[in-house]
Amino acid sequence: NAGVTQTPKFRVLKTGQSMTLLCAQDMNHEYMYWYRQDPGMGLRLIHYSVGEGTTAKGEVPDGYNVSRLKKQNFLLGLESAAPSQTSVYFCASQESNQPQHFGDGTRLSIL
């Protein structure tokens, strides 16, 4: 019973490189989210999805893209990484008005 699994757990990138973060959930949840967490700022929503094949922008979407081709997976892409994107990224999944279940996070540093 894995819940929400994020890969990778850590990554260091150089400015301008691209990468994809993977989130997988095994609870058959409809809703999935990508957040970033910076010191003193709580969780800020980047993008979210209300079902397979759908995505929508959150509070801080610039510089990120997402895809949800399969219900269980939600991918977050950085096309051209910038130092301002250094952060801890959390994925979460949820059923309507139920708790959000979070993955363990991905710690991303961009040099």
Binding site for another protein (CB under 8 A): 31, 33, 35, 40-45, 48, 50, 59, 90, 94-105
Nearer to another protein, 48 or 64 (CB): 48
Minimum distance, C-beta of residue 57 to another protein, in the bound complex (Å): 12
Provide, rounded to whole angstroms, the least separation between the CB of residue 45 and another protein.
Answer: 7
Q: CB of 9 within 8 A of CB of 107?
A: yes
φ/ψ of 85, rounded to 5, equals: -95, 5
CA dist., res. 106 & res. 8, Å (int): 6
In the bound state with another protein, the residue whose beta carbon lies nearer, of 17 and 37, is: 37
The radius of gyration of the chain's CA atoms, rounded to the nearest angstrom, is 13
Cis peptide before 99 (omega within 30 of 0): no
Q: From the CB of 93, what's the least distance to another protein, in Å?
A: 11
